[in-house]
Structures are given as structure tokens and as C-alpha cells.
């Protein structure tokens, strides 16, 4: 099983050294990332640590993770899924709904501890 890693998971592993993520990050050929997650992660680190450290980690991610590109049809499905979640009182971001759709289409799971994903199928929920 492969995993599309959410920003939450990246921060837990790379910044917080959360050992609950260790078993997932030990096998990088099964790790995926989207451009939106890369952007969110870059912002979070750049804001806190500056360019040098952020670029170092970005290079590690791009070297070890498979990048999943996003097309227009996936964005449309993401918008529909976001609407469905809003009706259930789950206010997921566009990034969250997009990676959820991407993971489902690629038969992989979203790896996260973000509460918006709790109890959704196709998610490896790790705190």
C-alpha cells in the first residue's frame, strides 16, 4: 500500500520527529506527494526556519516521494467532495479534499493525523 502524505504527516515526521510515523517513512518508494502539499509544507517550514533548511527538506522529499500531478477533472471532483463534506459539517480545505480524491484515484491512502480525515475510508490516521 502506498501513501499520499498530508502536510500534517510531513510536519509530524520532519519537524516533530513523531515516531508513530516511522514505519511509513521507512519505505520511501511507497510515499507520494501532491504539488499542493509541497506548497503547504514549504510555507510552514519557510515561515519558521527560512530558505536554507526548507530547500534542504524539499530536495529530500522530491528525491524520495513520487509527485502526483493534478488535472482539471480531479479538481472538479475535489470541489464536489468538499461540498459533500461541508454538508456533513466537515470544513475541509481544497488541499485536503484534493489529496483525498488523488489518493482514491491512485489506490493509495492519505497519511495524516488531521482531524478532518478522522473516520474517512482510504485514510491512514496517525497521531
The domains of the chain, with CATH numbers, are: 3-125 (3.40.50.1010)
With pLDDT > 70 as the criterion, what percentage of the chain qualifies? 100
pLDDT given for residue 2 in this prediction:
97
pLDDT in tens, 82-94: 999 999 999 999 9
Q: Around Cβ 29, how many Cβ atoms within 10 Å?
A: 8
pLDDT tens figures, 25-64: 998 889 999 999 999 999 999 999 999 999 999 999 999 9
Cell of 96: 485536503
User: Residue 119, Cβ neighbours under 10 Å: how many?
Assistant: 8
CB atoms within 10 A of CB 49: 13
Is the pTM higher than 0.85?
Answer: yes
- Supply the pLDDT for residue 27: 87
DSSP states of 1-31 as a string?
--EEE-HHHHIIIIIT--GGGHHHHT-GGGE
To the nearest whole number, what is the mean pLDDT of the chain? 96
Amino acid at each position: 500500500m502506498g501513501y499520499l502524505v498530508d502536510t500534517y504527516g510531513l510536519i509530524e515526521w520532519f519537524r516533530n520527529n513523531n515516531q508513530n510515523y516511522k514505519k511509513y517513512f521507512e519505505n520511501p518508494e511507497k510515499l507520494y506527494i501532491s504539488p499542493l502539499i509541497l506548497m503547504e509544507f514549504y510555507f510552514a517550514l519557510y515561515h519558521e526556519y527560512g530558505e536554507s533548511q526548507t530547500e534542504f527538506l524539499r530536495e529530500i522529499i522530491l528525491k524520495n516521494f513520487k509527485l502526483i500531478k493534478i488535472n482539471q477533472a480531479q479538481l472538479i471532483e475535489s470541489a464536489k467532495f468538499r461540498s459533500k463534506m461541508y454538508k456533513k459539517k466537515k470544513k475541509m480545505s481544497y488541499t485536503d479534499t484534493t489529496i483525498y480524491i488523488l489518493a482514491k484515484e491512485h489506490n493509495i491512502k492519505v497519511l495524516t493525523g488531521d482531524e478532518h480525515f478522522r473516520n474517512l475510508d482510504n485514510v491512514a490516521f496517525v497521531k
